[in-house]
Structure 1
Amino acid sequence: MELQQQPPRQPEGCPTVAIRVPVRIVVLVLVVPVRMVWDVLAAAARALHRTILRPVGRALSWLGHTLIVLPLMYLGRGLAWTGRVLVVVPLGWLWRWLVVPLWRYGVAAPASWVYRYVLTPLGHGVAWLAAGGWTGLSWVARGIGVVLSAIGTALVRVGLILIVVPVGWFWRRVLTPVGRGIAVVAREVGDAFGHAWRIAGQISRAVGRGLKWLGWQLVGRPVRWVWRSLCAPVLHWVRDTLWAPAARAAAVAGRAAREALGAAGRTAREALASARDTVRQARADAWRALVGGPPREPAPHPARTLGRTTTASDAVAAPEISLRKTEG
């Protein structure tokens, strides 16, 4: 793709150069503080948008969508369904079965008959009567047109001589040179503002880099030295000397507490099982004493022991004596 050749610039005269230099100096002096303030405000606005406005906007958007948009959407759907059922369907039925037949047979047919058999013959008669007088009116209109055309031509010539010619001379001799001068000044001022804005941006960036370097030298570097030399060793010592042993001791204590609770739970379950066996044997002995029969020596159940948590594989549950079975 070939580049289009730009038209050559016209040679600039001494007045243009004499205007350009002081204008650019004055504009640069005025624009540099404005550009620096603009850069500071732009950086603050970007930081504010990134840290506060964007999260708050997202939260408000979600909240508005949840609390306003969704309820309004469901409400609109409900209203649309209600309107369709209560308004659109009845109106459609009325239009189809009442209005259309009434219009077709009550209005359109009589109006068509009146137009065809009354208005059309009447219009033809009126047109025939008016045709004779139209010729005379056309001649009168032509005469009036000729007179008005002559008057308009005379007025145009008078206006051309009295208004257009002086205005054209004033435009060519006065306004055009003044406008060219104003255009030159305006163009130079605009170019000066653009040039000054770019230079002010470079100055502002240079000042910003200098302030950043100065802040790093005065604040960042000492803070980093304090962190690396004092805070980090102290935190590492606290972590290795106090926090890690405390965490290990807490873990050991927690494990011991869990084991102690488990052993206490097992002991309590075994004690409850032994108490149930004792109560069962006492009930059986009391029943034998009441109904007769040789007493039986209570024997410990082979499936459970007080000091063990396992159950024998060949142990059989001790039979329970039922009052109903004994009576039977």
Structure 2
Amino acid sequence: MDLQKPPAEPRQPEGCLVVAIRLPVRIVVLVLVVPVRMAWDALVVTGRFLRDTLLRPLGRALLWLGQVLCVLPLVGLWRYVLVPVGQALLRLGKVLVIAPAVALHRYVLIPLGQAGRWLAQGAGAGLARLYARVLTPVGHAVVWLVRYGIVVPVLWTVRYAVVAPVRWLVRYLVVVPAQWVYAWILAPVGRAAAWCVLGLWRLLGLLVTGLGTAVYWIARVLLVPPALALWRRVLVPVGHFLGVLAREVGDALGHAWRIAGHLSRAVGRFLAALFRWGVVQPVRWVYRTVLTPVGHAVRDAVLKPAAQAARAVGRATRQVLASARETARQTRADVRRLLFGEPRERAVRTREREAVLRREPTPLGTRTLDSSTTALTNLTKD
């Protein structure tokens, strides 16, 4: 909470109207803002308490529950079900689909395609030779005959029998009369019409200019002075008054919010101190002076002896069980030895173990000439 007052900005000298408005506005705003600020601070404290004591542990519990109920089963399903099934399906698809398709492509389609390509290349080569050696000369001959035997004579005939007379008739029956009509009739009429339209446009411009000038002076004389008077005498003072009122209301809201913050903090401290001295301190005194000595006495008089007795009983029980197991093992070994005899390897190991336990040195033979341990005698024996 920002309870510090911001630095005041330099202001212009204020009039009596501002001073007369400020005090009642601040009183009214303070009365209205204090309950709102206290309710806001109470909501903030309640929200923080709920967040720290309820919502955050609840969110962590929900997160852990979601991991246990959703994430871990999905991971196990993906890792131990879907992945093996997918790998099995992939291998099955490779064996049943991809391998036969590759074999079909490699050993059937490729030879058929190569054979078809060879046949197509042979047919194309034959058609190309036929086109180059037969169809092309025949076509050239037909084109030459059509061009120089039919088309050229027909064109020359049409040109000198039809086109030339039609062109002469069009020139002297249409073009020459049209040029005469344009030069001696249409051009003078168009110039006269253009001059008339230009005169009418200039006359219309003069009329519009005159009307605009008249409307301007009428509006300037009849509308502008009342509008200026309304602006200067009514709107500007009302705007100044509303601006001063809005500024004072804003300042009053700021002061009232800060004062309400101080009041709310004082009330909160009072309630916290009341709760501490009325609940926390008695509970702490009861815990320190009553529960702690009682707990220590119970621990020293009951729990520790009970724990020691339980440990002693457990130790004795373990020793009894160990001795019973050892006795049962030895009894089984004796019964097996009486019934089946002791195996050779086990007897050897038993004798070696007994020798090691006794730690007696093994007897060494007497050294003679035959039992020499020199390298020369060893080589001779070998």
- Same fold (TM > 0.5): yes
Which string of whole-angstrom CA distances, capped at 9 and with x for unpartnered residues, describes residues 54-85 of structure 1? 34445656849x959xx9xx9xxxxxxxxxxx
Q: How far apart, in 2, do the equivalents of 1:267 and 1:139 lie?
A: 141
Correspondence 1:56-75 to 2 at 5 A? 56-57=58-59, 63=66
- Alpha-carbon RMSD across the aligned residues, in angstroms, is 4.2
| SS in structure 1 of the partner of residue 236 of structure 2 | helix
Give the TM-score normalised by structure 2.
Answer: 0.49
Larger radius of gyration: 2
Find 1:175's aligned residue among 228, 235, 245. Answer: 235
Which residue in 1 is equivalent to 2:165?
none
Q: How far apart, in 1, do the equivalents of 2:356 and 2:310 lie?
A: 43
Q: CA deviation at 1:20?
A: 1.2
Quick one: structure 1 residues 267 and 25, their matched pair in 2 at CA, closer, same or farther if it must change by over 3 Å? Answer: same
Q: CA deviation at 1:153?
A: 6.6
Quick one: structure 1 residues 154 and 242, their matched pair in 2 at CA, closer, same or farther if it must change by over 3 Å? Answer: farther
Q: Which stretch of the first structure deviates more once superposed, 232-241 or 160-169?
A: 160-169
Q: CA deviation at 1:246?
A: 1.0
Q: CA deviation at 1:302?
A: 10
Find 1:32's aligned residue among 34, 43, 47. Answer: 34
Which residue in 2 is equivalent to 1:54?
56
Residue type matched to 1:232 in 2? T
Quick one: structure 1 residues 164 and 253, their matched pair in 2 at CA, closer, same or farther if it must change by over 3 Å? Answer: farther
Quick one: structure 1 residues 274 and 165, their matched pair in 2 at CA, closer, same or farther if it must change by over 3 Å? Answer: farther
Residue type matched to 1:31 in 2? V
Does 1:217 find its partner at 2:219? no
Q: CA deviation at 1:194?
A: 0.9
Find 1:188's aligned residue among 248, 272, 284. Answer: 248
Q: CA deviation at 1:145?
A: 9.5
Residue type matched to 2:25 in 1? V
Which residue in 2 is equivalent to 1:261?
321
Q: How far apart, in 1, do the equivalents of 2:263 and 2:26 lie?
A: 16
Which residue in 1 is equivalent to 2:23?
21
Which residue in 2 is equivalent to 1:114?
none
Does the 8 Å contact 1:35/1:197 carry over to 2?
yes
Which residue in 1 is equivalent to 2:14?
12
Quick one: structure 1 residues 149 and 265, their matched pair in 2 at CA, closer, same or farther if it must change by over 3 Å? Answer: farther
Extract unaligned runs of 5+ from structure 2. 1-7, 79-186, 358-382
Q: CA deviation at 1:51?
A: 2.3
Which residue in 1 is equivalent to 2:354?
312
Residue type matched to 1:278 in 2? L
Q: How far apart, in 1, do the equivalents of 2:55 and 2:214 lie?
A: 71
Q: How far apart, in 1, do the equivalents of 2:331 and 2:218 lie?
A: 133
Q: How far apart, in 2, do the equivalents of 1:170 and 1:177 lie?
A: 10
Figure out how many residues of one structure are paired with residues of the other and give that number: 226
Q: How far apart, in 2, do the equivalents of 1:23 and 1:302 lie?
A: 113
Residue type matched to 1:313 in 2? A
Q: How far apart, in 2, do the equivalents of 1:36 and 1:171 lie?
A: 44
Correspondence 1:55-204 to 2 at 5 A? 55-57=57-59, 63=66, 146=205, 150=209, 163=223, 165-204=225-264
Extract unaligned runs of 5+ from structure 1. 1-5, 75-131, 285-300, 305-309, 316-328
Q: CA deviation at 1:217?
A: 2.0
Residue type matched to 2:284 in 1? R
Does 1:232 find its partner at 2:274? no
Does the 8 Å contact 1:24/1:192 carry over to 2?
yes
Give the TM-score normalised by structure 1.
Answer: 0.56
Q: CA deviation at 1:241?
A: 1.0
Q: CA deviation at 1:39?
A: 1.0
Does the 8 Å contact 1:302/1:312 carry over to 2?
no
Q: Percent identity?
A: 49
Does 1:248 find its partner at 2:289? no
Q: CA deviation at 1:216?
A: 2.0
